């Protein structure tokens, strides 16, 4: 069974789901027809009746149609009724279909959905109720007629055996799913440590293009990009030069705008605003700068003022450090469009206690045991890593080789940039005069492409290119140029 999200248009919130929901119950319904979950969701979302529900389940799929943090008018117990204002509504499809076993498969799938929901909020089995519980309606009708409610509850009480958002993380890498999207997960092994490393090389303003370039016997296991703070022993992890964002230990202005999480000598995690961090510096193994720190009991602890609360509510790719009981730690990159509240509920279903939000969007990346599990091509200045320890020489980042004469490249070495969206300007210098343009949906071949280390002032990766093009009637032959590169908009291929 797939669990997917197909949410109602926010323009209909006022009609269908006007209130924020902190749910304590799960209410079971049956649809009273033989329609699929997709048809039920489509009908519920397009009609102009206030009545709705959160999830429809059939023999193949469960679809979330109303956000789980919004109420739905499904229980029939009034505007302020507990069913309508404190419960999730789950519809079981194919109630009137007696031609095959689709109803029974949907019924079993609904029990799996309930187990998942119970895990998210620690809902007791006593709080899984029939629609009948709230207003006396004969619903879920077929379950009531066939006398299978107790059996349904027994299925909902079974321990989860795996699947979407339930069970336990295993050590090492695993691919899971949330709302139909891949979640790349790596749980720290017993012999590994959590640490930070700089990918900058000898010049703090520089960053390597690929985080998989930083790899050796000590840090081969898993790496995820993250805003760094500092390391205790820079020789172990690579070169590191102190703190970022112009932080100093003389209480520089605006340190309250940034957050710091740090691992102490006992491998316990702590967190505070940046200015208070200095009080704890002597006890630190490593420290990093998350955007949001939240506990998995539903309380948001700290949100970076420099990043803003939108980090919590925006739906985008998310990379996080998850803290489990017993000082265990997990990296996770959520590749779908999810917000941090959904990430938190996912982590909680695996027993997590804390969540540290790192980079997101095009910056969310993970390299696990040498393989690119999530990679966007953005330059990465710093890496949060699981490593096995040991002294080593500082790691020098490798750079693309720039030929002295671009015309020496034969045609088979041409590199192509395809513009997926947003036209791409070619400039004579960084931020300088426009000398070329590639429209959306088009491509351009170049003799060579050299990625420029580090983010520029506009916050993007840039490339130096050489090729032939024209702009406003002016022809350019084997001309060096500069482009702003964002892998969500442009693709490079050879």
pLDDT value for 494: 54
Of residues 305 and 53, the one with the higher pLDDT is 53
pLDDT value for 362: 76
User: Could you say which DSSP state residue 370 is in?
Assistant: T
Residue 491 has pLDDT above 80, yes or no: no
Of residues 453 and 49, the one with the higher pLDDT is 49
| DSSP character string of 127-196 | GEEETHHHH----SHHHHHHT-HHHHHHHHHSPP-SSTT-S-PPSEEEEEEETTEEEEEEEPPTT-EEEE
β-pairing, 259-264 with 269-273?
A: antiparallel
pLDDT value for 236: 36
Contact 305, 257 (CB under 8 A): yes
Residues 471 and 27: their CA atoms lie apart, in Å, by 63
Q: Residue 467: CA atoms inside 13 Å, Cβ hemisphere, count? A: 29
Residue 370 and residue 454 share a domain: no
> Average pLDDT for residues 97-106, to the nearest whole number?
89
Contact 73, 12 (CB under 8 A): no
Residue 309 and residue 382 share a domain: yes
Contact 163, 57 (CB under 8 A): no
Contact 77, 89 (CB under 8 A): no
Out of 387, 421, 439, a domain closes at 387
Residue 4 has pLDDT above 80, yes or no: yes
Whether the ω angle into residue 369 lies within 30 degrees of 0, i.e. cis, is no
Question: Collapsing DSSP states into helix, strand and coil, what is residue 421?
Answer: coil
Residue 213 has pLDDT above 60, yes or no: yes
Nearest alpha-carbon partner for 436 in 472, 488, 396: 472
pLDDT digits (tens, 9 = 90+) for 192-205: 888 877 665 434 44
Q: How confident is the model at residue 164 (pLDDT cuts 50, 70, 90)?
A: very low
Q: Residue 330: CA atoms inside 13 Å, Cβ hemisphere, count? A: 30
Whether 397 is covered by a domain: the verdict is no
> Average pLDDT for residues 439-458, to the nearest whole number?
79
Question: Collapsing DSSP states into helix, strand and coil, what is residue 343?
Answer: helix
Residue 150 and residue 71 share a domain: yes
Task: Report long-range pairs for 33-39 (Cβ below 8 Å, ≥24 apart).
Answer: 33/95, 33/96, 34/93, 34/94, 34/95, 34/96, 34/97, 35/93, 35/94, 36/93, 36/94, 37/61, 37/62, 37/63, 37/91, 37/93, 37/106, 38/63
* Site of tokens 């529900």: 53
Lowest mean pLDDT among 287-296, 395-404, 409-418: 395-404
Residue 457 is part of which domain span? 406-493
Of residues 489 and 210, the one with the higher pLDDT is 489
Contact 179, 64 (CB under 8 A): yes
Whether 469 is covered by a domain: the verdict is yes
> Average pLDDT for residues 47-57, to the nearest whole number?
95
pLDDT value for 249: 36
Contact 196, 228 (CB under 8 A): yes
Distance linking the first and last C-alpha atoms of the chain:
39
Indicate the average pLDDT of the chain.
79
Residue 289 has pLDDT above 90, yes or no: no
pLDDT value for 138: 96
Whether 400 is covered by a domain: the verdict is no
* Site of tokens 């004469």: 405
Neighbouring CB atoms inside 10 A of 467's CB total 22
Residue 49 and residue 92 share a domain: yes
User: Could you say which DSSP state residue 393 is in?
Assistant: P
Residue 237 has pLDDT above 80, yes or no: no
User: Could you say which DSSP state residue 408 is in?
Assistant: G
> Average pLDDT for residues 94-118, to the nearest whole number?
91
For the chain, the domain total comes to: 3
pLDDT value for 167: 53
Residue 288 and residue 207 share a domain: yes
Residue 460 and residue 318 share a domain: no
**What Rg do the C-alpha atoms of the chain give, in angstroms?**
26
pLDDT value for 294: 93
Q: How confident is the model at residue 187 (pLDDT cuts 50, 70, 90)?
A: very high
Contact 40, 49 (CB under 8 A): no
Residue 303 has pLDDT above 80, yes or no: yes
Q: How confident is the model at residue 277 (pLDDT cuts 50, 70, 90)?
A: low
> Average pLDDT for residues 286-290, to the nearest whole number?
83
Q: How confident is the model at residue 455 (pLDDT cuts 50, 70, 90)?
A: low
> Average pLDDT for residues 329-349, to the nearest whole number?
89
pLDDT value for 393: 39
* Site of tokens 């999207």: 181
Whether 298 is covered by a domain: the verdict is yes
Residue 322 has pLDDT above 70, yes or no: yes
Of residues 450 and 252, the one with the higher pLDDT is 450
Residue 369 and residue 230 share a domain: yes
Residue 225 and residue 184 share a domain: yes
* Site of tokens 């031609």: 99
Q: In what order do the strands lie in the sheet with 461-471?
A: 434-438, 424-427, 474-485, 461-471, 448-452
Whether 392 is covered by a domain: the verdict is no
Out of 157, 189, 219, a domain closes at 157
Residues 447 and 50: their CA atoms lie apart, in Å, by 60
Residues 117 and 244: their CA atoms lie apart, in Å, by 40
pLDDT value for 409: 33
Ramachandran sector of residue 371 (left: φ over 0; alpha: ψ -120 to 50; beta: rest): beta
Residue 306 and residue 236 share a domain: yes
Residue 258 and residue 223 share a domain: yes
Whether 393 is covered by a domain: the verdict is no
Out of 157, 191, 206, a domain closes at 157
């Amino acid at each position: 069974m797939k669990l997917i999200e197909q949410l109602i248009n926010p323009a209909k919130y006022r009609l269908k789901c006007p209130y924020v929901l902190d749910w304590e119950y799960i209410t079971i319904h049956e649809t009273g027809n033989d329609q699929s979950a997709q048809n039920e969701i489509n009908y519920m979302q397009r009609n102009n009746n206030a009545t709705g529900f959160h999830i429809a389940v059939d023999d193949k799929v469960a679809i979330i149609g109303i956000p789980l943090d919004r109420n739905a008018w499904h229980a029939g117990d009034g505007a302020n009724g507990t069913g309508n204002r404190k419960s999730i509504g789950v519809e079981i499809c194919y109630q009137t279909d007696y031609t095959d076993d689709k109803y029974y498969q949907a019924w079993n799938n609904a029990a799996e959905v309930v187990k998942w929901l119970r895990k998210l909020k620690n809902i007791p089995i006593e709080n899984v109720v029939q629609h009948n519980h709230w207003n006396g309606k004969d619903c879920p009708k077929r379950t009531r007629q066939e006398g299978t409610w107790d059996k349904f509850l027994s299925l909902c009480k079974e321990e989860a055996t795996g699947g979407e958002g339930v069970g336990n993380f295993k050590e090492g890498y695993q691919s899971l799913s949330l709302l139909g999207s891949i979640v790349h997960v790596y749980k720290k092994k017993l012999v590994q440590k959590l640490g930070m490393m700089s990918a900058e090389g000898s010049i703090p303003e520089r960053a390597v293009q690929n985080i998989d370039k930083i790899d050796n016997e000590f840090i081969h296991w898993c790496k995820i990009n993250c805003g760094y703070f500092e390391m205790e022993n820079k020789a172990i992890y690579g070169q590191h030069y102190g703190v970022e964002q112009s932080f100093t230990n003389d209480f520089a202005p605006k340190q309250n705008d940034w957050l710091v999480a740090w691992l102490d000598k006992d491998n316990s995690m702590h967190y505070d605003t940046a200015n208070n961090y200095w009080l704890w510096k002597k006890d630190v193994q490593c420290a990093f700068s998350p955007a949001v720190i939240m506990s998995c009991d539903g309380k948001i602890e700290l949100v970076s003022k420099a990043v803003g609360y939108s980090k919590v509510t925006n739906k985008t790719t998310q990379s996080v450090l998850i803290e489990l009981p017993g000082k265990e730690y997990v990296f996770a990159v959520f590749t779908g469009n999810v917000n941090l509240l959904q990430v938190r509920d996912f982590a909680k279903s695996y027993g997590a206690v804390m969540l540290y939000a790192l980079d997101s969007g095009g910056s969310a990346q993970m390299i696990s045991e040498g393989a690119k599990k999530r990679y966007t091509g953005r330059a990465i200045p710093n890496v949060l890593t699981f490593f096995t320890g040991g002294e080593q020489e500082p790691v020098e980042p490798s750079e693309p080789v720039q030929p002295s004469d671009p015309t020496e490249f034969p045609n088979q070495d041409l590199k192509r940039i395809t513009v997926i969206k947003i036209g791409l300007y070619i400039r004579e210098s960084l931020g300088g005069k426009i000398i070329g343009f590639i429209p959306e949906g088009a491509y351009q071949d170049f003799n060579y492409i050299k990625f420029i280390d580090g983010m520029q002032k506009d916050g993007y990766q840039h490339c130096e290119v050489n090729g032939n093009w024209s702009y406003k009637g002016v022809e350019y032959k084997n001309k060096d140029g500069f482009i702003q590169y964002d892998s969500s908009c442009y693709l490079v291929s050879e």
